[in-house]
Amino acid sequence: MTAERVVGDRAVVLGGSMAGLLAARVLADSYGEVVVVDRDGLTGTTSARRGVPQGRHVHGLLARGQQVLDELFPGFTEEAVADGIPTGDLGELRWFFHGRRLRPAPTGLVCVSATRPRLEALVRNRVAALPNVRFLERRSVDGLIATPDRRAVTGVRVRGEGPDAAVEELTADLVVDATGRGSRTPVWLSELGYARPEEDRIRIDLSYTTRIYRPREGRALVDDLSINPVSSPSHPRGAFLSRIEDGCYVLSLTGVFGDAAPTDPDGFLDWVRSLPVPDIHEVIRDAEPLGDPVQFRYPHSVRRRYERLTAFPDRLLVMGDALCSFNPVYGQGMTAAALEAVELREHLRAGAPRPLEFLRAVARVIDVPWDMSAGGDLAYPQVTGRRSLKVRVGNAYMAKVQAAATGDGAITRAFMRVAGLVDPPGSMMRPGMVLRVLRAARKVGRSRPVDGPVVAAGGARAE
């Protein structure tokens, strides 16, 4: 423990995924003991867990997330590389938007290309090495314990596996809910007499269908870390092919509005052929599949507006997907959790965190990635939601940015620094950049705007 002041004896973190682990890391500097409770086994786990259903699919750790991990765990990226995880420059990946490739450009931002279980294991091992952190595994959470006046949370009730398992009460000076999309905090608030938070939902009906491959001799990606034809209104079918640990590739095919890649091998390969660019098919057509395709469905993004509540129990916080669950194609979830942990660290420096102050501060942290992902989803005409002037102008300008970046690497660099949550979105609106974008987009507009056929969400092709 390295804190200048200890603010409590015990903090309990509900959920041992990335948000919970990063919360535990910063709490360990300010509490005598930190207990991480999870319904899964955590110790020694290197495969996808039941509690992380998206864990089998491509995950993106954005550049700002990588920077935070290096800050919280010095030498983290070097450790990942030593563990066999490939890295590269975010701007030099093979990015495609609207069927056209962005011009590569070095950004100085590191992309860590690992499967979610491997990345999570690295973080978990570093957290487990902290002397005042312990994991309470294979425990479900029965509910909160509160003071008689219900103004403060004083602990949680947890239950082991099996119908006859005993209930254990854990006292705590702070409880952090990092249990993900299925968080029961809204229910617990209601039980304690508080209002439930409002929710913003954006329905996208996303599907991920994923398969891992080992390349044949002489067919491995050498210079490219990742090939990413990103889903867009003009090309709703998308994909992420990433070189990962152990010399393998992971390929996730994305569909929207109920259009999902099949899980049978032939149907999966046919879907790959339907992508707007042939690059991925050329890599995997003769690669060795390691298992069958698996599918994950994500119906909608959810943001719980705790910051709008006027009353909230003391000694309870909410973080990670329990607070805001982003459309995963934007790769923002783990990085948002990292930024929330940094915000928590700042509040702890002033003493025990005040929940509403923390939730309002974290809401400002979430605003940027939420506006980016929500705005991107609202570019699809099928998505229901309010399209403010800010959203309409932003989407129109972003289309020009993506078109301009196909011919101008400086625009790719600026765009990737914003997408990586390193630079603020306003950096793309500086007068010099706007002029550059408009000039480059005009030049691109005089050439063929889209390479290849458009594939509609239902699978129909329009030449």
Q: What is the pLDDT of residues 146-185, one digit of tens each?
A: 999 999 999 999 998 877 888 999 999 999 999 999 999 9
Average pLDDT value for residue range 363-379: 95
Number of domains making up the chain:
1
Residue keyed to tokens 């699809």: 380
70-84, 278-292, 435-449: which range is least confident on average? 435-449
pLDDT at residue number 392: 93
Residue 332: inside a domain: yes
pLDDT value, residue 47: 57
The pLDDT assigned to 26 comes to 98
Residues 143 and 461: their CA atoms lie apart, in Å, by 51
Q: For residue 185, what are the domain limits?
A: 8-83+117-199+302-366
| Strand order across the 133-136 sheet | 133-136, 31-37, 8-14, 174-177, 316-318
pLDDT digits (tens, 9 = 90+) for 394-407: 999 999 999 999 99
Average pLDDT of 425-444? 94
Q: Is the pLDDT score of 448 beyond 70?
A: no
What the block records as the tokens of 120 is: 């999570």
Is 162 domain-assigned? yes
Q: How confident is the model at residue 453 (pLDDT cuts 50, 70, 90)?
A: very low
CA distance 198 to 314: 19
Given pLDDT bands bounded at 50, 70 and 90, which one contains residue 128? very high
Does residue 75 lie in a domain region? yes
Q: What is the spatial distance between Cα 114 and Cα 85, in angstroms, rounded to a whole number? A: 6
Q: How confident is the model over 231-239, as a mean pLDDT? A: 93
| Tokens read off for 410 | 């400086």
Q: Is residue 78 in some structural domain? A: yes
Q: How high does pLDDT run on average in the chain?
A: 90
**Minimum mean pLDDT range among 34-48, 263-277, 430-444:** 34-48
Within a domain: residue 127?
yes
* Residue 3: pLDDT band with limits 50, 70, 90: very low
pLDDT at 45 over 80: no
Count Cβ neighbours within 10 Å for each residue of 160-169 and write b for 16 or more, e otherwise: eeeeeeeeee
Task: Please give the Cα distance from 116 to 110 (Å, whole number).
Answer: 17
For residue 141, give the nearest of 179, 99, 91 by alpha carbon: 179
Q: Domain for residue 350, yes or no?
A: yes
> Which residues partner with 318 through β-bridges?
177
Query: Per residue in 288-322, pLDDT tens?
Result: 999 999 999 999 999 999 999 999 999 999 999 99
Confidence of residue 48 (pLDDT cuts 50, 70, 90): low
Per-residue pLDDT at 53: 55
Q: How far apart are CA 458 and CA 68, in angstroms?
A: 40
> What is the reported pLDDT for 459?
36
Q: Is the pTM of this model over 0.85?
A: yes
Q: What is the largest CA-CA distance in the chain?
A: 71
Residue 271 lies in a domain: no
**Inter-residue contact 341 to 72 (CB < 8 Å):** yes
Determine the average pLDDT of the residues in 328-351: 95
Which pLDDT value is given to residue 160? Answer: 87
Beta carbons of 17 and 41 less than 8 angstroms apart: no
| 253 pLDDT more than 60 | yes
Question: Among the listed ranges 51-55, 286-290, 330-334, 353-357, which one has the minimum average pLDDT value?
Answer: 51-55
Share of the chain above pLDDT 70, in %: 90
pLDDT higher than threshold 80 for residue 15: yes
**Averaged pLDDT, 351-376:** 96
Give the CATH number of the domain where residue 306 resides.
Answer: 3.50.50.60
Helices 333-348 and 63-72, packing angle to 10 deg: 40
Q: What is the mean pLDDT of residues 78-98?
A: 93
Residue 351 is assigned to a structural domain of this protein: yes
Establish how many alpha carbons lie within 13 A of residue 205's alpha carbon, considering only the half-sphere containing its beta carbon: 14
Q: Please report the pLDDT score of residue 59 as a whole number.
A: 73
- Residue 452, pLDDT > 50, answer no
115: confidence class by pLDDT, cuts 50, 70, 90: confident
> Which H, E and C letters describe the chain, residue by residue?
CCCCCCCEEEEEEECCCHHHHHHHHHHCCCEEEEEEECCCCCCCCCCCCCCCHHHHCCCCCCHHHHHHHHHHCCCHHHHHHHCCCCEEEHHHCEEEECCEECCCCCCCCEEECCCHHHHHHHHHHHHHCCCCEEEECCCEEEEEEECCCCCEEEEEEEECCCCCCCEEEEECCEEEECCCCCCCHHHHHHHCCCCCCEEEEEEEEEEEEEEEEECCCCCCCCCCCEEEEECCCCCCCEEEEEECHHHCEEEEEEECCCCCCCCCHHHHHHHHHCCCCCHHHHHHCCCEECCCCEEEEEEEEEEEEHHHCCCCCECEEECHHHCEECCHHHCCHHHHHHHHHHHHHHHHCCCCCCHHHHHHHHHHHHHHHHHHHHHHHCCCCCCCCCCCHHHHHHHHHHHHHHHHCCCCHHHHHHHHHHHCCCCCHHHHHCHHHHHHHHHHHHHHHCCCCCCCCEECCCCCEEC
Contact between residue 102 and residue 406 where contact means Cβ atoms under 8 Å apart:
yes
Cα-Cα-Cα-Cα dihedral sign, residues 309, 313, 317, 320: negative
**Residue 11 · residue 27 · CB < 8 Å:** yes
Q: Kindly report the number of other CB atoms within 10 A of residue 425's CB atom.
A: 15
The reported pLDDT for the residue numbered 5 is 62
Read off the pLDDT of each residue in 7-27 and give the average, rounded to a whole number.
96
